[in-house]
Structure 1
Amino acid sequence: MAINAHRAFTSSSTNNYLAGLTVERDREDELRAARDDAREAVRNALRTITSPYLFESATVEQSALRPKFRMQGSFAYRTLNDPSQAPQEIDLDDGMFVPVSFLTGSEGNARPGIISDRYFEAVEAALAPLCDARGWELETDLPSCVRIRLNDGAHVDMALYAIPDEEFAILVEKAAPEGMANDSLRAAADSIEFSEQVYRDLDPDQIMLAHREEGWKPSDPRKLDEWFQEGLKAHGEQFRRVCRYLKGWRDHTWSSCRLASIALMACARASFDADKSIADNRDDLRMLDVSQRLPEQLKTRIRNPVVEGQFLDEKWDKPARDDFVQKAQDLAGRLEDALLGSDSKQAAVNALIGAFGPRVPNDVSLILTDDDPSGGGVPMPAILKSGMLHELGREPAVRDVVRKDGDGRYG
């Protein structure tokens, strides 16, 4: 029996796996409001600080700090999923960028004039009253951010950056429409969010991240965003959806593990890059292809796509890697059972629920076969054998239907 399970993954309705992964709008609005309150608390506090305690040298201009903010991580990429089980939490990543004077070291390297550990202290002092008032917990032991643990299984991670104030002022003026009045320029410079153009034009070598043990480190958060956007441009929204499916599978399979989201995204991107011909209206076939490649990907080193020389599996020991590979093989096996080995719609649904958990609806109406009236008696464009996506290259006519254009009857 030829199976099409695309609608079990996504559709225009809310009865599908993707909808089951999605954080409710009211909950997301609450998280954004908490983030905004945290931003405002820090912003108001830092604007009043001119104490030399914060600065490395008396030569640094000690004007009020005016931080800018930029969302990062899954909220920014729209790959956020609702947690599957405790102790998983919704993670909202926010970047705070303080324009400040830079100092030049003896070797000619520039560094922010603000002292990194005192930067952490100032931000934590600004957030403490808000956290006390809301019943939130302030965590101050993470190496490169300040964490606000909210109520109901969510947290905000605020990463602390510094950028050169002179360059920032030039970029604000450059981005402004010609003839903008000075008071409007000041308002643009003082806004809480980066404008898109100013953020994009920052010098990548002068974005510095505060680290509790290592001081200031060059770190350009735009690189990961650009890499992800390149994936979307090359492969469309299916790439974003598949990243969410993989994260959902991981969160169903383990309550916690070292298989990071960026590692899964890198594996997904490699699979998409290897085969660009699967139709956008066949997420089931795309997930089958991705799952069949995943075990081999997890057996080997996974390069960080934006930091040369770094790997995303550096903290995996052999038992953890073996477990990841075994569970990835199980995922591929269940998807093969669902799409290639099922003798009924219910069997296909059961296999998908076994792979991804109860957030896949137990609804056989989401499964189509070549026997359905909507099929019009034309065989469904799927090849009924294991490893089908690697065999289709031998049958160009069938491959064109299944992989490139899909079949609108089953979307």
Structure 2
Amino acid sequence: MLKFPKLFFQSGEDTHSFENRIRPSAEKRRHLRACVAKIKDHLKPRISQATKTVLGMDRAVVPRFRTQGSWAYDTCVEPAATPPQEMDWDYGIYLPVTVWEENGPPHAMAKAYFYLVESLLQDLCGQEGWEIRPGKETCIRVQVAQWAHIDIPLYAAPEKEFEKITESVALAKAHVYDSHTYSAESISFREAIDAQQQWVDLDCIVMATRTGEWKSSDPQTVANWFRDRVEEHGVQLRRICRYLKAWRDHHWQHGGPTSVSIMIATAQAFQPRLGRDDRVLEDIARRLSQIFLHDIREPGIDNGTEDFNRLQNLEREKVAQQFGQLASQISQARQAGAHEKEEVILKLRQQFGGRLPMDSTLVEFDNEPDTIRSTPATRVAPPVISSTKAG
């Protein structure tokens, strides 16, 4: 039997493993961080000035900004096909509201808030050569490169709750940069996001929509839940999520299972195997082939009220079948002989695409005891013993 975890992951930044090939490059990370910084620098004073003159508050307040989505989970991957696929960065704007009615800020403020931010971003886009993409109901999408966009959802919370944040940010900074318990990977991840990511939970958050509604929404609940799962299982969980997102992008240029559904389902089914990303991938794919036939709910996120599996029944069956094929291909590859290493990689590339390295030295003979024990026994013909005479 064979093993090939090194095809997927090797420690060190200079390796050519699948992990390093699908993670956003340093150059692209720098570009997106610079774009996010420009958006914050442009919007922060202008929104603050407009909170009284445009949004009708009794005094000016300062908005807060927070990275969300895959950059907060540290599961972002390079798209497999650009175009049409793009890298995205979710960057939420949180407005401390001085007047809070029973279910949120005054109703009229939602549409005014959305229009205000979009108008301010139009000015910035003109300066930077960016473009606002129309049609998004729950966020403003800014195209900052041919390969990337930034989604900007707009939130509000009672002003008094923001008083908790200042102390929390200071404590979080000290914990991240002084602690010796974080791995190099987690430190790198935290350097890629704004320090204010380390907020405490706000108890009441609503999101503005283009049509002028306030909707209850707190994206941090997913981030907190997934962070706890990573602390429980280790960073191997993040890697497996990245592999499966890249696998999804290889098979679906449009559609397919959403990133958050893959992440939640993977975390629910996860069982770590130290140094064996190949085995974990096989196990997870087999479990997801069953999970994606049904609703995906998580009691630790909104008490399980939300179904994260957005697929319709026929799509669920197709996705489940694809996960099953992935598990089968990995299993068959592991059972190949030592003389079939190149054929193994070619078959795996059918699942993961050309970014999986074509390097047979990364495929090794598997002599681990658990693998030997799990290999089915085969019937062996009894030896032929010729008759003898004593004498």
TM-score, with length taken from structure 2: 0.82
Is the alpha carbon distance of 1:365 and 1:112 closer, same or farther for their aligned partners in structure 2, counting shifts above 3 Å? farther
Deviations 1:38-94 (A, max 9, x none): 111111321322555423xxxx41x22311111111112211100101311001011
1:5 corresponds in structure 2 to 4
Separation of aligned partners in 1, 2:276 and 2:118: 47
The letter of the residue matching 2:25 is E
Cα deviations by residue, 1:4-54 (Å, 9 ceiling, x for unpaired): 101011002521110110111011100110111111111132132255542
Q: Does 1:207 align with 2:205?
A: yes
Letter in structure 1 aligned against 2:209? H
* 1:79-228 paired onto structure 2 within 5 Å: 79-85=75-81, 86-105=83-102, 109-111=103-105, 115-169=109-163, 172=166, 195=196, 199-200=199-200, 202-204=201-203, 206-213=204-211, 215-228=213-226
C-alpha deviation, 1:212, in angstroms: 2.5
Structure 1 residue matching 2:16: 3-state secondary structure = coil
Q: Deviations over 1:101-143 (max 9, x none)?
A: 13334xxx45358701110111011111111222211134312
User: 1:382: Cα distance to partner?
Assistant: 5.0
Q: Which residue of 1 aligns with 2:385?
A: none
- Note the C-alpha offset of 1:351: 2.2
Do structure 1's residue 333 and structure 2's residue 328 form an aligned pair?
yes
CA-based RMSD? 2.6
CA 1:171 to 1:282, structure 2 compared with 1: closer, same or farther past 3 Å?
closer
Q: Which residue of 2 aligns with 1:28?
A: 29
Deviating more after overlay: 316-325 vs 84-93: 316-325
How far the C-alpha of 1:174 sits from its partner, in A, is 8.4
Deviations 1:240-275 (A, max 9, x none): 000001001000111011410111112211221xxx
Instruction: Identify which of 363, 366, 371 aligns with 1:383.
Output: 371
Q: Is the 8 A contact 1:82 1:90 kept in 2?
A: yes
Structure 2 gap ranges (5+)? 172-192, 377-391
Q: C-alpha distance in 2, partners of 1:87/1:64?
A: 41
Q: Distance in 1 between matches of 2:138 and 2:155?
A: 10
Q: Is the 8 A contact 1:340 1:384 kept in 2?
A: no
User: Deviation of residue 317 (structure 1)?
Assistant: 2.5
Q: Distance in 1 between matches of 2:158 and 2:359?
A: 56
Cα distance in structure 2, aligned partners of 1:324 and 1:358: 21
8 Å Cα contact 1:68/1:194 also seen in 2: no
Partner Cα distance (1:8, 1:176) in 2:
40
Measured against aligned partners, the alpha-carbon deviations of 1:262-303 in whole angstroms (never above 9, x if no partner) come to: 11112211221xxx3x42211011111111112111112212
* d(CA) in 2 for partners of 1:16, 1:173: 41
SS, match of residue 111 in structure 1: coil
C-alpha separation in 2, matches of 1:160 and 1:167:
17
Structure 2 distance, partners of 1:112, 1:174, is 28
C-alpha change, 1:6 and 1:170, in structure 2 (3 Å) is closer
Q: Per-residue displacement from partner, 1:295-332 (whole Å, max 9, x unpaired)?
A: 11111221256233221224x23332222122112211
Distance, in Å, in 2 between the alignment partners of 1:110 and 1:49 is 19
Matches within 5 A, 1:250-399: 250-272=248-270, 276=271, 278-304=272-298, 306-307=301-302, 308-314=304-310, 316-342=311-337, 344-370=340-366, 379-383=367-371
Q: Please name the residue that 1:243 is paired with.
A: 241
Output the amino acid matched with 2:346: N
Aligned to 1:405: none
Give structure 1 stretches of 5+ with no counterpart: 178-191, 371-378, 392-411
Q: Percent identity of the aligned residues?
A: 30
Once residues 322 and 169 of structure 1 are traced to their aligned partners in structure 2, the CA distance between those partners, rounded to angstroms, is 48
For the residues of structure 1 that align with 2:348 and 2:194, how far apart are their CA atoms?
Answer: 42
**Normalised by the size of structure 1, how large is the TM-score?**
0.78
SS at 1:69's partner residue?
Answer: strand
- The count of residues paired between Structure 1 and Structure 2 equals 349
**Which amino acid is 1:203 matched to?**
L
How far apart, CA to CA, are the structure 2 residues paired with 1:337 and 1:174?
50
